[in-house]
């Protein structure tokens, strides 16, 4: 009998892992290179990685001819290592994030099986995978998915070591935390320290923990991974590296608003409510007032064994990330992502509770999910009639919207049936399926269609033309752009430096030189700059973008400059301008 039970358990485990792998393959790998890089963040990271590969400088990141210390180096290394194998393209840029997303889902399942039931582990893993946050970050070449995986795996390792006394778990924690720091800087160290510190004080075991951790070996592992790049970067760039990386990109971003990315104190509450629906819907019903009072009592947790304190650990994890990020002046959607794995565990426990012992509130929760799905269906049907945008009224996009209408209409009916029959497992399967189908239609056909109409794909033909026309081995050509600041222009043209003009005087001063000017711009930017190129036909046109090839013997320098020459004359950008970004 025991052998049969173990066989059934092994079979269920195998099916669970295979199901997660298939789900992740569709969500994060299918058509990964089917659309161009997103501007600004993803394209900038891709270009920084391309510069590492081209310049063979694995210490100092460069963007458009200037030092770029906005983020640590790990993502750029991983992307650059992929170029020789996958080519200089979208697959190589996005694959590190996709692998990190898949690894995060699998490590969540593996960790949760240690402290909860197999079903809870499967619930938690699918919730980590099937939500807009992970879907977007797992298919985008930026640092946040790497941070999410390494920091989560580090905290999982710490709690495993704490609950079992295995010193190897602590060493694994230090190693994974080091990679999290290399992924996105000291934020991982600060958040992990807050989470673990508050938890140990809450359960009154901080003194025992101090004596249990192999600090010497742990610090050696952490330093051996993090210090080499930081030391080499400081040796190569001096205090510029310290000021740019530690002061401006980390400390300043916390205390002051960067790039007008601010928000109210409840900003991330809205982000979680929208971005983690419907998994949040069952938590209120799963928590009774009695269980909530127990949850907040110190003696309740202090009397429990270390392997039974995981609920408190996950709650502190989520709240620490939420409060810390809400206190920061700069706010972006994905800054709260390090708290998503903890939220997924808490949601999985709530769903497990309702599956095992359904409460009266379950029908209300399922009804709320069905209502939201119904509103989504109606919204998708009305968008073409309410929003006066040509791209939303095109035949291809309209078909996608009607497909979403049918999808969420069917999901509404299915949720209603699960409500009548009180089947939360059905609601879980319906929600995973609905999100997966929605995500797949976003990947194809929606994003490829939008790419050529409103996204970065419109600029690729101009970038290729600029690459073809520019003589890189001589000084006679000056590739430049007026008002077109997208980093994808550098990446797809494979031109290391493109002069970015922001004022008309900056353009007109170039006309006095002997170089041929290859200018990428738009009609709107020329009008704003009061620049008259009516005597020249654009050599290439793609959507709103135009490439003008202006010979040295032109009379455009005689155009009146309406701005102060001393302020608008072309000069290197300031350090602050260089290292600002939207990530």
Q: Are 467 and 494 in contact (CB under 8 A)?
A: yes
pLDDT score recorded for residue 130: 96
Tokens of residue 480, six digits: 């430049």
Question: So what's the pLDDT on residue 310?
Answer: 94
Q: Which residue has the tokens 């209409």?
A: 409
**How far is residue 432's CA from residue 35's CA, in Å, rounded to a whole number?**
24
Give bridge partners of residue 480 from the DSSP assignment.
499, 519
- Exposure string of 39-50, with b = 16+ CB inside 10 Å and e = fewer, is bbbbbbbbbbbb
On the CB side of 128, CA atoms within 13 Å amount to: 33
Specify the 3-state DSSP secondary structure of 551.
coil
Q: How many CA atoms lie within 13 A of 315 on its CB side?
A: 13
CA distances from 220 to 114, 230, 422 (A): 28, 15, 54
C-alpha atoms less than 13 angstroms from C-alpha of 53 in its C-beta half-sphere: 24
Question: What is the rounded (10 degree) CA torsion for 519, 525, 527, 530?
Answer: -60
Cis bond leading into 445, ω under 30°?
A: yes
CB 124 within 8 A of CB 16: no
Q: Tell me the chain's radius of gyration from C-alpha atoms.
A: 27
Q: What is the pLDDT of residue 559?
A: 57
> For position 575, what pLDDT does the model report?
36
Instruction: Output the pLDDT for position 184.
Output: 94
Q: Is the dihedral of CA 228, 80, 84, 102 positive or negative?
A: positive
Query: What is the chain's percent helix, strand, coil content, to nearest 5?
Result: 70, 5, 25
**For residue 576, what pLDDT is reported?**
33
Element (H, E) at 500: strand 499-501
Q: Judging by beta carbons within 10 Å of its beta carbon (0-12, 13-18, 19+), is residue 556 exposed, middle or buried?
A: middle
* Tens digit of each residue's pLDDT, the chain (583 residues): 455 555 555 787 888 889 999 999 999 999 999 999 999 999 999 999 999 999 999 999 999 999 999 999 999 999 999 999 999 999 999 999 999 999 999 999 999 999 999 999 999 999 999 999 999 999 999 999 999 999 999 999 999 999 998 999 999 999 999 999 999 999 999 999 999 999 999 999 888 888 899 999 999 999 999 999 999 999 999 999 998 888 887 777 777 777 667 888 899 999 999 889 889 887 776 665 556 666 677 777 888 888 889 999 999 999 999 999 999 988 989 999 999 999 999 999 989 988 888 877 788 889 999 999 999 999 999 988 877 777 776 778 889 999 999 999 999 999 999 999 888 899 999 999 999 999 999 999 999 999 988 889 999 999 999 999 987 767 778 899 999 999 999 999 999 999 998 776 777 777 666 678 899 999 999 988 888 888 889 999 999 999 999 888 766 655 555 444 433 333 333 333 333 444 5
Per-residue confidence (pLDDT) for residue 6, from 0 to 100: 54
Answer yes or no: are the C-beta atoms of 349 and 311 closer than 8 Å: yes
Q: Is there a contact between 478 and 499 (Cβ–Cβ < 8 Å)?
A: yes
């Amino acid at each position: 009998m025991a052998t049969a039970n173990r066989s059934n358990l092994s079979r269920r485990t195998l099916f669970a892992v295979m199901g997660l792998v298939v789900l992740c393959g569709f969500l994060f790998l299918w058509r990964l290179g089917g659309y161009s890089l997103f501007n600004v963040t993803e394209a900038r990271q891709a270009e920084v990685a391309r510069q590492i590969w081209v310049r063979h400088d694995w210490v100092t990141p460069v963007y458009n001819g200037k030092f770029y210390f906005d983020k640590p180096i790990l993502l750029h290394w991983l992307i650059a290592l992929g170029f020789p194998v996958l080519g200089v393209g979208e697959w190589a840029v996005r694959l590190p994030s996709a692998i990190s997303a898949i690894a995060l889902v699998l490590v969540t399942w593996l960790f949760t099986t240690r402290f909860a039931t197999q079903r809870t582990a499967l619930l938690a893993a699918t919730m980590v995978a099937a939500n807009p946050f992970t879907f977007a970050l797992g298919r985008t070449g930026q640092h946040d998915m790497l941070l999410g995986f390494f920091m989560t795996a580090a905290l999982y390792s710490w709690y495993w070591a704490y609950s079992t006394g295995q010193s190897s778990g602590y060493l694994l924690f230090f190693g994974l935390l080091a990679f999290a720091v290399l992924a996105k800087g000291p934020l991982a160290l600060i958040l992990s320290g807050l989470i673990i510190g508050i938890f140990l004080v809450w359960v009154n075991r901080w003194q025992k923990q101090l004596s249990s951790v192999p600090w010497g070996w742990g610090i050696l592992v952490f330093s051996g991974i993090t210090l080499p790049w930081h030391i080499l970067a400081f040796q190569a760039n001096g205090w510029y590296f310290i000021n740019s990386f530690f002061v401006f990109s980390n400390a300043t971003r916390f205390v002051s608003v960067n790039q007008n990315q601010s928000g109210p104190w409840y900003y991330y509450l809205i982000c979680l409510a929208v971005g983690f629906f419907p998994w949040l819907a069952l938590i209120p019903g799963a928590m009774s007032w009695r269980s909530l009072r127990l949850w907040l009592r110190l003696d309740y947790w202090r009397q429990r064994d270390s392997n039974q304190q995981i609920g408190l650990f996950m709650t502190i994890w989520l709240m620490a990330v939420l409060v810390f990020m809400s206190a920061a002046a700069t706010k972006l959607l994905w800054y709260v992502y390090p708290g998503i794995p903890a939220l997924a565990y808490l949601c999985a426990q709530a769903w497990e509770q309702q599956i095992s012992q359904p409460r009266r509130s379950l029908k209300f929760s399922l009804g709320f999910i069905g209502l939201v799905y119904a509103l989504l269906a109606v919204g998708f049907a009305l968008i073409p009639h309410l929003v006066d945008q040509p791209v939303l009224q095109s035949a291809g996009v309209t078909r996608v919207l009607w497909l979403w209408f049918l999808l969420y209409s069917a999901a509404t009916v299915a949720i209603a049936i699960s409500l009548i029959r009180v089947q939360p497992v059905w609601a879980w399967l319906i929600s995973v399926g609905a999100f997966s189908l929605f995500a797949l239609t976003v990947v194809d056909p929606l994003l490829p269609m939008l790419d050529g109409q409103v996204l970065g794909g419109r600029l690729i033909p101009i970038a290729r033309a600029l690459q073809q026309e520019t003589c890189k081995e001589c000084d006679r050509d000056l590739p430049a752009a007026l008002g077109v600041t997208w980093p994808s222009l550098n990446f797809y043209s494979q031109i290391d430096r493109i002069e970015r003009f922001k004022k008309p005087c900056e353009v007109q001063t170039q006309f006095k030189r002997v170089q041929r000017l290859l200018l990428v711009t738009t009609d709107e930017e020329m009008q704003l700059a009061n620049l008259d190129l009516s005597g020249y036909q654009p050599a290439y046109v793609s959507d709103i973008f135009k490439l003008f090839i202006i010979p040295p013997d032109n009379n455009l320098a005689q155009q009146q400059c309406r701005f102060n020459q001393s302020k608008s004359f072309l000069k290197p950008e300031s350090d602050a301008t260089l290292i600002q970004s939207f990530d």
